[in-house]
Amino acid sequence: MPDVSDYLEKKINNLDKFLPNAKKNDNSRLDTEIRIKIEKEAARNNLYKIGAEIILPRQVVAVTAYNQDVFKAIDEIRDKLQREIKNYGGRKDAMYKRAARAIKRMRLWAGERIPKGKRERHE
């Protein structure tokens, strides 16, 4: 199984660039943990079941893949994890943008001046 573990490590390490807390200079990830479990199910035509969990801040991403070839199952896991991590980052960005829009729409304090082109008309 050393080939499988090397292949798995190579594929999973490529996910670092999608993780939100990955540092460019350092190989360590902050607040992120990856767990992977490989099982061979004899009752289901010798299928390999690979389960993976990535623990991110405020969310756990869990995916599972079944395949008769362990290498194809690892590729499926990598693709699913990549998709989920991108969605996690997209939701976070959307939240920040939504908050920024809400702050921008807030009324000004009593003593502040409204810029000339930004005055609202009250009818």
**Global confidence as pTM:** 0.62
The domain tally of the chain equals 1
Query: What is the widest separation between alpha-carbon atoms in the chain?
Result: 75
How does pLDDT run across 6-47, given as a tens digit for each residue?
Answer: 888 888 888 877 776 544 445 544 567 888 888 888 777 788
Amino acid at 12: I
Q: Report the share of the chain in percent with pLDDT over 70.
A: 73
CATH number of the domain within which 41 lies: 3.30.160.100
Q: Report the share of the chain in percent with pLDDT over 90.
A: 13
The length of the chain is 123
The answer to the question of residue 88 being in a domain is yes
The answer to the question of residue 114 being in a domain is no
The answer to the question of residue 53 being in a domain is yes
Q: Are 65 and 50 spatial neighbours (Cβ–Cβ below 8 Å)?
A: yes
Containing domain of residue 46, as a range? 2-107
The answer to the question of residue 7 being in a domain is yes
Q: In sequence order, what E strands does the chain have?
A: 33-41, 47-56, 59-67
The answer to the question of residue 116 being in a domain is no
The answer to the question of residue 115 being in a domain is no
Q: What does the alpha-carbon distance between residue 109 and residue 113 come to, in Å, rounded to a whole number?
A: 9
